[in-house]
């Protein structure tokens, strides 16, 4: 099993930056890819970004391309989401997830492990 512990959420002004972290523990060698999703109040959960654990290939949702960067530190067993040029519409609960197999990385149902979620609020 894999446990994911997320941190870094908070309040930030529009145009600012914030970095989310997700530390993995347990049998992390099973992880093939990790992703970030978000869910704003009253809206559906949305794919944000994903990264393959070994090769570091990255993928982004259309709404965050050019503003967000996903990365990972293998030694620290941690994945990061660097968020820049934040907008009020980025306000949401952000979830870290990990998948054991190659799959459609933008579909939440393919992920096997999930973090607790962290609130990101962007003020105007």
Range from 4-8, 101-105, 120-124 carrying the lowest mean pLDDT: 101-105
Q: pLDDT at residue 94 above 90?
A: yes
Pairing of β 113-114 and β 68-73: unpaired
User: What is the structure's pLDDT at 70?
Assistant: 98
Q: Tell me the CA distances in angstroms from 109 to 6, 17, 37, 41, 58, one per residue in order.
A: 19, 29, 12, 20, 19
User: What is the structure's pLDDT at 109?
Assistant: 93
How do residues 50-79 score in pLDDT, each as one tens digit? 999 999 999 999 999 999 999 999 999 999
């Amino acid at each position: 099993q894999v446990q994911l512990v997320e941190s870094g959420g908070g309040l930030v002004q529009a145009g600012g930056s914030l970095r989310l972290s997700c530390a993995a523990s347990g049998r992390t060698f099973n992880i093939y890819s990790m992703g970030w999703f978000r869910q704003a109040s009253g809206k559906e959960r949305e794919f944000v970004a994903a990264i393959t654990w070994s090769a570091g290939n990255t993928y982004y949702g259309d709404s965050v391309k050019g503003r967000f960067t996903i990365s990972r530190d293998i030694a620290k067993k941690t994945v990061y989401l660097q968020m820049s040029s934040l907008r009020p519409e980025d306000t949401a609960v952000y979830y870290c997830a990990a998948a054991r197999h190659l799959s459609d990385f933008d579909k939440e149902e393919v992920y096997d492990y999930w973090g607790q979620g962290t609130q990101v609020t962007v003020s105007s």
